[in-house]
Structure 1
């Protein structure tokens, strides 16, 4: 997704002694307390997997629902509801075999029909999912036609051969289908529950899931509580009993509560990693996280006229002093970004653009020249508003960018708002420049590059480029997709629909008695069913 909230520590659970699943390592003695408490930066927009579009909701859904495949702590795919699959010689038909012991939390069996219903629901225009495009990028047959209203959902290339056999038909073979079926939009939902409760089906007492946990409590803006699901097929190997997510907007307050023992995983406020690493060397951790942070330009019909001039967008990007942000503000091992796709994606090499080797003075000089060419100067100052969600880290960076652009003569207004409000504004195109981040849905470069496709409903800046679309389409059947990926990155660099700022790391504080969290997964996906606590 993925949207991400910087310093949201629970999404950064990367550390600790390696442990696969919840298998207790030799020598580890289980603690009596097997509960887990973590921090959420903001309220969850939705727990509906077909309506979710952010990292926070995705992580919660991963505890409550289980797809065909999931991930081990090292990032490798492992069977979920599916025990395996067959693929046709032309690689257009995948047949997934579902485990008969998989059950919903109400005791009903999980069937292939539940996946068919969820996937059809995802692309059905009536659902109005911001992530409907995901099945189109998976190349599921007729997905785009259904999304466009040109075919009924029943024409989607997915069918239940029988209760335990799911058949998926593609328009075009792709090499990364399996990682995609581990992602949130493809999670199953129970039709009878969704139709009975409507929008309220994800409320405590209503929600029926097939994951290792069930939703016991959801106090909006305060906390969510998950409890073990006794009907989960692998409940015998689950150890953590209760997972509590506390909504704490202020990073410094969350840190205080972590140090007081209220949280088991805590945030590292912007700029404090080096200090905390020195003071708490066994608890402070920084690892690569496949997300890119930047400022999205609204080039759509609701965006300001100035941003439709590519010279303006190029100038604004050049003027962002990424070294100051990474070295002076963040200080958590992040890398400056002059391109979009995260460098840690499997098989991908980030492009090396000239700006990365210029001094900031040279970048600023070029930026001023571009703004002058575009007609902006002392007699006609450029005025813009940067929108960002409430968080001290986002604020510090927005203030820094405001100063960087002020040096160009740009008058910048800052506006912050709660996450749910910001996402709603983005969806309606009601912004000019927006603080933005995208995190990998799966470990392949297309997860970043698909974002700027013209038919991607999550492409809030409304960037559209026919050459770019063609490159991404060609990459699906290319002998070496990196050829098209490099050209696509070049288009983004030239057109600048977003000013990339830095590549993420996950910085977090984790109590030393916790085991089973991911240590090699650049996607930072994690499951509480893999976690346990050792006796101190």
Structure 2
């Protein structure tokens, strides 16, 4: 990492932090191929955050505008989710707070059996009351008058499908829903949203949930506040310097896989080149390689480089809200316009030139890698391959005519600003390519870059201020986490993450179909119907989904093996250093 006088943490202090965490006692040997490595107890792992991203919310239930992988990753250092999934996208009860979840014959009552082995760091057990309290926060933060909105509104039928959540003894929770649902969907997308907070610590205003939400919001980005001292995850928060580093130490009372490391530091990265230099020199132990630097990976002689795909998809959001600037929302509501835009996206060139082959074609709401049974194989063929001339002809057939180089219809011009995340060469290159290719169709684009945290703040609530947004192309777009890959929160008319205000009655019906109970074949076919409709109707514009190119020091082990492809997060409590 390159340090300047303006940084809040000096290089000397950082070195002292790292050295203070290093241990030297041998604890075990680990086979690797034909050799055995000796693990060293202790040590500090320094992990790069995604370029120009800082954590902004540490409370285990994120708000809508703080729902980022970075926030999720650091929250999961401290708090255990009710359920987790493994690398094969299967429920993993061994690592979950829930020991099992059962349903009644009617399919409208779910019984959560908590594993009594889990405790808070103060020695108190994680109980059904903690789960009920967390649900009460989720419910309150989904009300229109709430000071902040829970990110999961619209996912898993929350809150309208949920009738009640009650405790039955210390380790049993009963969830009643209004009508039967596909259990795979409800457990993952509904119950999977629950990451319990300790009721004894956070329940400050039991008779005024708005005050409770205001209290949470006031300290959500203050991880050294005493409220964050009680955790049930593998780590305690230790210290931080804003826009510089965030450090964690092991929770010695953690009931899961104990950390071999004595400290974990998440480091802010101002640029991809700085991160690359830090990986090369060993200042960073783990991070990711941006696509623009893949050609230089041979310089990382002290590191292991591994591509990993995450369960999700990548996309650009056109603002279809009627309040979008210049009437562009009305234009984007036209399928023909969205089809023309999609035909102007050269996915093969993007994969080859920007991602050096480490990306996959993406034409629907689930990318083909990593392989899961939920991907419709019929969508291996892109319904809208790159063809800007065909896109321009389509616009002309629907009444658009080029005036001064810009397609125009009824006084509305296909001229708008694309806001994209800064800090990624691939993101900048992609934006420039889109601008040039769309120009061939008579679509004029102005490019504006913003920090990632500002890009994700755009949505329906400030629809008049933006026309189109693109995520950080060094990490891709949406990841499903524990989620069943249906689109309620994303593309239903009322979905909390429906940033572009897309609305379709048929889409709502198809999404609803993915919730319904049925045989495995029936539920898969409903998923395929939803994916196929999305691929052809384009609620958003689909772009290639890149792999995460994970880089870690050769003497740091367990990084790739424990990587979570569902949530795209690292699990450092499964890492260990080998002796030199």
Smaller-chain TM-score range? 0.7 to 0.9
Question: SS at the partner of 2:119?
Answer: coil
CA distance in 2, matches of 1:116, 1:163: 11
5+ residue gaps in structure 2? 1-26, 205-214, 407-413, 472-476
Contact 1:73/1:518 (<8 A) preserved: no
Q: CA deviation at 1:405?
A: 1.2
Question: SS at the partner of 2:527?
Answer: helix
Q: CA deviation at 1:449?
A: 6.4
Deviates more, 1:514-523 or 1:163-172: 514-523
Contact 2:119/2:254 (<8 A) preserved: yes
Q: Deviations over 1:461-485 (max 9, x none)?
A: 0111111111121222243123223
1:113 paired with 2:129, answer yes
Q: CA deviation at 1:241?
A: 2.1
Counterpart for residue 398 of structure 1: 431
Question: SS at the partner of 2:322?
Answer: coil
- Runs of 4 or more, structure 1, over 6 Å off, are none
CA distance in 2, matches of 1:46, 1:439: 18
Q: Deviations over 1:394-417 (max 9, x none)?
A: 222111111111222222111111
Q: TM-score, normalised by structure 1?
A: 0.84
Answer with 1 or 2: which has the greater Rg: 2
Q: 1:74 to 1:225 in 2, by over 3 A?
A: farther
CA distance in 2, matches of 1:211, 1:501: 35
Q: CA deviation at 1:460?
A: 0.3
Q: CA deviation at 1:495?
A: 2.8
- Measured on the aligned residues, the alpha-carbon RMSD in Å equals 2.8
CA distance in 2, matches of 1:56, 1:476: 29
Q: Deviations over 1:430-488 (max 9, x none)?
A: 32111142112236432x56521112111100111111111121222243123223332
Give the number of aligned pairs.
497
Question: SS at the partner of 1:30?
Answer: strand
CA distance in 1, matches of 2:466, 2:371: 30
Contact 1:123/1:129 (<8 A) preserved: no
Counterpart for residue 382 of structure 2: 356
CA distance in 2, matches of 1:229, 1:271: 38
Among 207, 217, 242, the residue aligned to 1:199? 217
Question: SS at the partner of 2:309?
Answer: strand
Q: 1:179 to 1:484 in 2, by over 3 A?
A: closer
Q: 1:221 to 1:497 in 2, by over 3 A?
A: same
1:167 paired with 2:193, answer no
1:432 paired with 2:467, answer yes
CA distance in 2, matches of 1:172, 1:127: 32
Question: SS at the partner of 1:133?
Answer: coil
Contact 2:422/2:428 (<8 A) preserved: yes
Counterpart for residue 419 of structure 2: 387
5+ residue gaps in structure 1? 1-21, 146-154
1:222 paired with 2:244, answer yes
Q: Deviations over 1:252-292 (max 9, x none)?
A: 11111111111111221223325415864961111222232
Contact 1:223/1:246 (<8 A) preserved: yes
Q: CA deviation at 1:358?
A: 7.6
Q: Deviations over 1:173-203 (max 9, x none)?
A: 32324444784x3101124533545324442
Question: SS at the partner of 1:471?
Answer: helix
Q: 1:332 to 1:23 in 2, by over 3 A?
A: farther
Q: CA deviation at 1:246?
A: 0.8
Q: TM-score, normalised by structure 2?
A: 0.78
Q: 1:99 to 1:353 in 2, by over 3 A?
A: closer
CA distance in 1, matches of 2:380, 2:156: 34
